[in-house]
Amino acid sequence: MRRLHLLFAALLLALTPAYAASHPKLPTNADCLACHNDNTLTKDGNGKPVSLFVDEKKFAGSVHSSFTCVDCHKDITAIPHQDNPLKPACSTCHTEQQQAYDKSLHAHAINNGNGQAANCTGCHGSPHEITPSSDLHSHVNRANIAATCGSCHGQRFVMEPSGHNTQEIVSYEQSVHGKAVQNGSQQAAVCTDCHGTHEILPPTDVKSPIYKSNVPMTCGKCHDAASKEYLSSTHGQAVARGNWQAPVCTDCHGIHSILAHTDPNSPVSAQQLAGATCARCHEGVALTRDFGVPGQRGSTYLASYHGLASRLGSPIVANCASCHGGHNILPSSDPKASTNTANLMRTCGQCHPGANSKFALSKIHVGAPQADDIGSLIVGWIRRVYLLLILAVIGGMLLHNAILIYARGAARCGVGPTIVRMDRNQRIQHLVLLLSFFMLVVTGFALKYPESWLAHLPGMREGARGIVHRLAAVTMTGIGVYHLMYLILTRDGRRLVTDLLPGWADARDAFQNLYFHLTGRGPKPEFPRFTYAEKAEYWALVWGIIVMVLTGMVLWAKVSFGHWLPRWWLDAATAIHFYEAVLATLAIIVWHFYQVIFDPEVYPMNLAWWHGKMPLHRYQEEHARDEAVFPPTAHAAQGEAGADEKAGGAD
């Protein structure tokens, strides 16, 4: 037996060198780090990396520190090793994660040649420095997820080539979730909670957690109660039936930019619900056409007391969610609905303690059509009767006052001698200009401000409005051309130009007039046939017509002009046309209306534009320097006697 043991030992000693030769000792971590932890060995003389540097301290704190280098770098069996060893495969240990990643958007992007798409190290960091997700410095710690995803999704040069933008990261950082994470919350949602971790799928994939029908369950991971209420609501049931028009959480709350409902900018804030969020679906006719759901819910709410008070900033007035609920919205026919007849007293009683059944049945959506509602029918007839009454009463009042204004103005001119201030030709020119100007103002500003009362006047539909605006423009252009011919070809026209030419005397008159009315000192100023104010208005009118006609022609024939003018000329013409219109309208209201209506000496109106006459005494007080009527050497009585025969002017 002993001989047998000795024989076995001798055989073992003989085989040991051969075994060692065929199974060399593998490098240890210390062997590898001897080079890879030395900056002088991992960089060349110019500081350029020639091999991977591994920080020994960081590696010791990583999740891979319990492994040897050759556990991952299996093709390295000796030191020194080959120049280009194989890159370790994470799937060797992380098989399930790799399989999930292979189905993701990121993997498909890499397979399609996008080398910037995220991979294992892009999210987790260097394999030698990966720390547990519980580590605050880990790339995948909840506090750092947004920054990790943002390293790609926040960079334009990375996202824009693939057709994506970077707004999602900015929106998330400003959202209620992002701010909660920044404040140290470990429960607030981060990117991976909604999109997944390794198997990130597009929202069009039915397996994606952000696929429309999956959104309630995704949000329900944190908001369980709200999710359950939603799933049993009319919206949740509609989505479950495949109705993609019904909203899910993100349709109302937003996606990345979710804000607290107390934030006035949130789509689910009391200020935004009726006018924006709920109205997106419940204002139009699509739901009525497809599902029989009444439309105009937003506008009829906003027309009610609740809506009006809300628009005035009331923090307690009822909004859509106050009556219908937030997540548990049910049709009023459902016995559990807050708007069911049996539950209305309780619903209304939240704000109106003691509300009885009759009060609770009052109409909330003002003006909403309800053919079977006796109250709606009565209110409809009341509206019709009062509209007719308003038209009759106010129209009669306006007619009455117009008659009095005309009669008193005419009577004022009929007392004593008068002078012809405007002849018939001039009055016709003025009337045509007046009508075309105001038609242009109404039709032009109706287009610029489609929500204003101007746009709701009869005939302001775009087709008719555009035609009327152009007809008025042609009329104003025509009367402008006629007036130019009048000035050139007629004696009265040439005299009109001469008398309207400004001079230094007008500046002196303006100063003396203001000085007299401010201080009461000195004689009351006297003016020639036209005052400095009338001259300024006339030449401003000439300038305004020229500008409006030229810019209007460019805009009317914009395609033709666009062939030989740069595009910015059209933009400039649009701006000039608009601002000149504002300037002209305000000038007429502030300057011209004062002179012919609001001046106490002519109130209620100077009717010279209608009958052409002006009391001689009034004319003499203001235009005593009109030498054609009051010659310097003539006697005043002679001036009065011949005043009616003297030629007048244009106002």
pLDDT digits (tens, 9 = 90+) for 177-217: 999 999 999 899 999 999 999 999 999 999 999 999 999 99
- Which pLDDT belongs to residue 115? 82
pLDDT digits (tens, 9 = 90+) for 475-495: 999 999 999 999 999 999 999
Domain 416-645, CATH: 1.20.950.20
Q: Would you tell me the crossing angle of helices 424-448 and 462-489 to the nearest 10 degrees? A: 150
d(CA 186, CA 190): 9
Q: Which tokens in the block code for residue 115? A: 């080398």
User: 534: which residues sit within 8 A by CB, 6+ positions away?
Assistant: 500, 595, 651
Tell me: the pLDDT tens digits for 108-138?
Answer: 989 988 888 889 988 998 889 888 988 898 9
Pick from 37-46, 407-416, 418-427, 560-569 the range whose average pLDDT is largest: 418-427
Q: Residue holding tokens 């409902």?
A: 261
Q: How confident is the model at residue 171 (pLDDT cuts 50, 70, 90)?
A: very high
List Cβ<8 Å contacts ≥24 apart for 618-626: 619/419, 619/421, 619/643, 621/524, 621/526, 622/526, 622/527, 622/531, 623/526, 623/527, 623/528, 623/529, 623/530, 623/531, 624/526, 624/527, 625/526, 625/527, 625/528, 626/528, 626/529
pLDDT for 598: 86
> Has residue 4 got a pLDDT over 80?
no
Q: How confident is the model at residue 289 (pLDDT cuts 50, 70, 90)?
A: confident
Q: Residue 22: what pLDDT?
A: 54
Confidence of residue 641 (pLDDT cuts 50, 70, 90): very low
Residue 305 has pLDDT above 50, yes or no: yes
Q: What is the pLDDT of residue 24?
A: 65
Q: How confident is the model at residue 644 (pLDDT cuts 50, 70, 90)?
A: very low
Q: In Å, how far are 283, 326, 360, 375, 386 from 338, measured between CA atoms?
A: 21, 11, 12, 22, 35
User: With 60 as the cut, is the pLDDT of residue 15 above it?
Assistant: no
Q: Which of 408-412, 560-564, 641-645 tops mean pLDDT?
A: 560-564
Per cent of the chain over pLDDT 70 is 90
pLDDT at 600: 83
pLDDT, mean of residues 411-437: 87
Ranges of each domain in the chain: 2-88, 416-645
